[in-house]
Amino acid sequence: MTEQQPSARLDKWLWQARFFKTRSLASRVVTDGQVRVNAHRVVKAATSVRPGDVLTFAQGARVRVIKITALGLRRGPASEAQGLFEDLTPAPEPGTPEAARVGPRPTKRDRRALDAFQDDQGSEA
């Protein structure tokens, strides 16, 4: 007959893939209707997802577009979680605050240099 492709609960997969810190938080995001599976809004945390499905959801200030490539067996390390999905999120547009954040967090030395630069700019005006 037809072979069933393995599936997993949506909230559990989001938690295993480390998009949300707790499973209850992932469940709440789904039940609030903030997740779309293959462009269809879902409100049940028990919605089945399979490899090949595309998820769209807000995470912080970003809208994430994720293609499921595998189902997890456990919530393992981040390196294992990154193998569960392919990130299709478009790059941030230039001029947005998110696009300005490139590279690591500034060091104390960087902050002092920036403060000195801003003081110099303020004294010229």
- How does residue 65 score in pLDDT terms, banded at 50, 70 and 90? very high
Residue type, 69: T
Structural domain includes residue 105: no
Structural domain includes residue 115: no
CATH number at residue 75: 3.10.290.10
Instruction: Determine the structural domain holding residue 66 and report its residue range.
Output: 8-90
Cβ(46)–Cβ(73) below 8 Å:
no
Does residue 102 surpass a pLDDT of 90?
no
More confident call, 5 vs 16? 16
Structural domain includes residue 109: no
Structural domain includes residue 113: no
The domain tally of the chain equals 1
Rg (CA), the chain: 20
Please enumerate in sequence order all residues whose Cβ is within 8 A of that of 50, keeping only pairs 6 or more positions apart, or say none. Answer: 5, 6, 7, 8, 68, 71
Structural domain includes residue 114: no
